[in-house]
Amino acid sequence: MLFYNLNKPSEKVDFRAATIQGLGSDKGLFFPERIPLFPSSWINNLENYSDEEIAWSVMNQYAGETIPEKILRQITAETIAFNIPLVPVSKNIYTLELFHGPTLAFKDVGARFMSRCLEYFMKGNERPVTLLVATSGDTGGAVASGFLGIKGVNVVILYPSGKVSTVQELQLTTPGKNITALEVDGSFDDCQSMVKQAFSDNELSEKIFLTSANSINVARWLPQQIYYFLAWKQWKNKLKPPVISVPSGNFGNICAGLLAFHSGLPVQHFIAACNVNAVIPEYLKTGVYQPVKAKASLSNAMDVGDPSNFVRVLALFNSEFEPLKQMMSSDSITDEETGAAIQTLYREFGYLADPHGAVGWLALSRWLENHPDQKGIFLETAHPVKFPDTVEEFTGKPVHIPDSVQALFGKKRTSVKIKADYTIFREILLEAKRNNI
């Protein structure tokens, strides 16, 4: 399997190179040269396979030529070494809980897979790699957990000051060792812009071996397909595929689901559930893509005004507007509606959701009101404990704090505050290089 640069299709690399490089030239994202098609006989009999076998079967299509089978099986098994249950919420709605991993967020899947792939690829390489990560909430913690202590890899996480939750900030500022957190006076888009600028800085790249752990990296993006297949394994009515509502910010998660669909996974329809940052809902109304300055919201991990992965969504549909619009709709949910959704889920159905899951549920509920013959799944992407103030405000009930989170409060936070200025960010990277950090 080769991957081509969406900005420069003639630039093609294998999975190993795509993982290590992160981005192609001109900030281009890598995309698979072909979409694998799984046999319907395999897809419709997933309940006969272990989760580990399913995970390997999916990722072997993309990484198999660069990683020996035994090692890839071990990597994929470790990637999903926690529960990913499909839980009934109401008569027609289920939720896929993706928060049972070490950092209580869906990004544990991608981060664990990528960290283990990169560790394998970097063995014997004397030049250390610096992993750049822009986070709007959960990515930073998941990457910090996945890469903590891995030899030859230094992680630099950029996050917007005051725009992540307390638990999220603790997860990315307390690990220490090879993890450095930069608190940026700006938005997630500012953080992401500086990361992209670093990759296009040829002089910097000559001095520092850079790669990215955001979902722009194929090793972070592609394994997110796995839990869509696991959802289908648990889906009872194989004659009526589900509608799937995905809380969407940078669009890596829903893009992985759409890729799984193009590979043969049965899905009735996808809903990109967005907050007030409604770039894609507006695009699907007008056909015009217009980035905006990100607005802060209760569902902070989706506060993205220029989603990087949407270019991959377009590639899946050959940039044809009508087929995309037919398969994927998008809804914009306000903070007021998010709070009301958290309250309704808890009081009427006894389900405790985080703000992102609540956005996904409300978007799905609206769709099902107009399509009463269908059933659906919303992705619960983070544990409610990551947003205790918000959840407690609308449920009136304190959120139980897991032991793994309780332990964070006793750790020392370490971060470097910087302005949203690439020159400053660049100097920090060079200074770290000079000090062999």
Which H or E run contains 427? helix 422-434
- Tell me if 273 sits within 8 A of 219, measured CB to CB: no
What value does the CA radius of gyration of the chain take, rounded to a whole number of Å? 20
What is the per-residue DSSP string for 359-413? Answer: HHHHHHHHHHHH-TT--EEEEE-B-GGGSHHHHHHHHSSPPP--HHHHGGGGSPP
Neighbouring residues of 231: CB distance < 8 A, sequence distance ≥ 6? 84, 86, 96, 242, 244, 377
Tokens of 170: 């603790």
Tokens 């299709």 label which residue?
9
Identify the CA nearest to 388 among candidates 402, 377, 373, 374: 402
- The one catalytic residue in 12, 70, 107, 417 is 107
Instruction: Find where tokens 């046999």 sit.
Output: 39
* Rounded Cα gap, residues 4 and 211, in angstroms: 17
- What residue type is assigned to position 110 of the chain? G
Question: Which residue carries 């093609």 as its tokens?
Answer: 12
Whether 8 is catalytic is no
Angstrom distance (rounded) from CA 288 to CA 302: 20
A 10 A CB-CB count for 229 gives 23
φ/ψ (deg, to 5) at 219: -75, -20
The number of residues in the chain equals 437
Catalytic residues, by residue number, are: 107
